[in-house]
Amino acid sequence: MTTKKLNIIGCGQAAGSLARLWVETDAVRIGCVMNQSETSSRRAIDRLGAGKASSSLTDMGPADVWLIGTNDDQVERVAMAMQSRGEELGGSLVFHLAGRFGLEVLESLDDGQTLLAAMHPVRSLTTAGLTLNDFAGTACVAEGTPPALAALQPLVDSIGGRWLPVASIDRGLYHASVSIISNVTKAVAWKAQKWQKKAGLPEETAAAVTHQLLASTVDDLFRSGARQSITGPVVRGDTSTIKAHIEALSANHPEDLVVYRVLAHTVLELAQERGDLDEKTLRRFEDLFET
């Protein structure tokens, strides 16, 4: 793979992590980096160990690849600002990392020559500690024209990402789904540890219990999938245990009852789809979750 020159607009945790891995594999050499301030740009360059700080788009020289790593809501504005570069972009690849958006936010750059793509690595990215081993196998959901995808895939392959091209997906629904898996899982684990500590578990014990359950749950998902591996009182039709859960939360964390009912009802939907429960048991559960 020929080493590409990479310019970065918005070199935060996500863009910085990827760029550092690409530099490590000689997939890219860093050209110009532009953040909201020159100080921030210089900090990003220090982390990358390469590059030139730019204070404006006009200061950035041409590059084979342009990465827009800004916050999601800024991508379209950056693309519109880049439009003024016109012929300097030429056949360059321009892509962003916003899971919430596809190609629509790059529409201003659609001149028939510039290669446009969106690429969403489905994992947490931190500039400080991410290694090639960490990134290996990471799902990289990519959208773009065939030439743009052909230019982007070698970058993903070079750092061991799992190439997953898509077309015309509902980005709002997609981003909601990955946020649920990642962020809500962490929030639910945090909430569960609060319940465990209220129940009397020491903080270290609560953390150990939570981490063990999360690890074994992930193993189950990989091995059998959610539909086959789901277990617990709802799947068994054990309404008395669920009632005990609700009573305990009512006494200790009444503000969390709505959280428990929503999540337990989601388990009920899965059990219903799988055919575990008869109609009488389903009605008993519905009564518990609605009161």
Which pLDDT value is given to residue 86? Answer: 59
**Does residue 285 contact residue 234 with C-beta atoms inside 8 Å?**
yes
Backbone torsions φ then ψ of 190, nearest 5 degrees: -60, -45
Which pLDDT value is given to residue 55? Answer: 86
Which pLDDT value is given to residue 198? Answer: 94
Residue of higher predicted confidence among 253 and 86: 253
> What does pTM read for this prediction?
0.84
Confidence of residue 291 (pLDDT cuts 50, 70, 90): low
Residue 134 CB neighbours (<10 A):
16
Which pLDDT value is given to residue 281? Answer: 93
Query: Which tokens go with 129?
Result: 């500690």
Topology of the domain comprising 4-169: Rossmann fold (3.40.50)
CA dihedral 195, 196, 198, 199 (to 10 degrees): 120
From the list 183, 189, 180, 193, the residue with the least C-alpha distance to 215 is 189
Query: Which tokens go with 34?
Result: 């532009």
Cα-Cα-Cα-Cα dihedral sign, residues 277, 280, 281, 282? positive
Beta strands in 109-267 (DSSP E): 115-121, 139-144, 162-165
Which pLDDT value is given to residue 170? Answer: 93
Residue whose entry in the numeric block shows the structure tokens 């962490």 = 186
pLDDT tens for each residue of 160-184: 999 999 998 999 999 999 999 888 9
Query: Which tokens go with 93?
Result: 């690849």
Distance, in Å, from the CA atom of 76 to the CA atom of 149, rounded to the nearest integer, reads 20
* pLDDT over 70 percentage in the chain: 98
pLDDT tens for each residue of 228-247: 999 999 999 999 999 999 99
CA-to-CA dists, residue 94 to 6, 10, 103, 106, 237, angstroms: 10, 13, 10, 8, 53
pLDDT tens for each residue of 81-132: 998 765 578 889 999 999 999 999 999 999 889 999 999 999 888 766 789 9
Q: How many CA atoms lie within 13 A of 42 on its CB side?
A: 3
Which pLDDT value is given to residue 125? Answer: 84
Which pLDDT value is given to residue 87? Answer: 54
Which pLDDT value is given to residue 142? Answer: 97
For residue 141, the cross-strand partners are: 120, 164
